[in-house]
Structure 1
Amino acid sequence: MSDYDHFLDTKGLNCPEPVMLLHKTVRGMEAGQLVKVEATDPSTTRDIPKFCQFLGHELIDQSQQDDLYCYVIRKG
């Protein structure tokens, strides 16, 4: 069993697509649910935390391994 309710694979997509897809995914989620996002675009390190702050979601985890950026976000 995973530690999140939804998974969003945005590998290979560039700004603004990862955040646009995240926004669409979060809209369909219940408050408190978690989504894990995997991305290869370095701009997500700036864009996803700002997205969370602006819309009131909680960035639970942010990590990077080589060229893969991972985020876990709780819907506010």
Structure 2
Amino acid sequence: MNDSFDEKTITLGSTVDARGLKCPEPVMMLHNAVRDSKPGDVIKVIATDPSTQRDINKFCTFLNHHMLAEKREGEEYIFWVKKG
């Protein structure tokens, strides 16, 4: 996780709860949330599929969004994505 990132200092646009879902569903849900957001909005994604670590980073790179931070809490992978 980015050491300078503090979740308390941002305003979330939306949260995607993809717990229990397998690839590609978490990325598809993020894509829908991004589509419904404005540039600069922050979307929090909570997932349990380990492949989301790779897939969400690639999604951000390919579509010019910004991965603000990511962390693992137990079995959950949490990402904060800023729409580019």
From 25, 44, 48, give the equivalent of 1:17. 25
Identical residues among aligned pairs (%): 45
What is the rounded CA distance, in whole Å, between the counterparts of 1:38 and 1:56 in structure 2?
20
Map Cα deviations across residues 38-75 of structure 1 (whole Å, 9 max, x no partner).
00000000000000000000000100011100000000
Say which SS state the counterpart of residue 30 (structure 1) adopts.
Answer: coil
Q: TM-score, normalised by structure 1?
A: 0.95
Q: Report what 2:51 is aligned to.
A: 43
From 46, 61, 68, give the equivalent of 2:76. 68
Say which SS state the counterpart of residue 36 (structure 1) adopts.
Answer: strand
How far residue 5 of structure 1 moved from its aligned partner, in angstroms, is 1.4
Q: TM-score, normalised by structure 2?
A: 0.86
Aligned length: 76
Moved over 2 A (4+): none
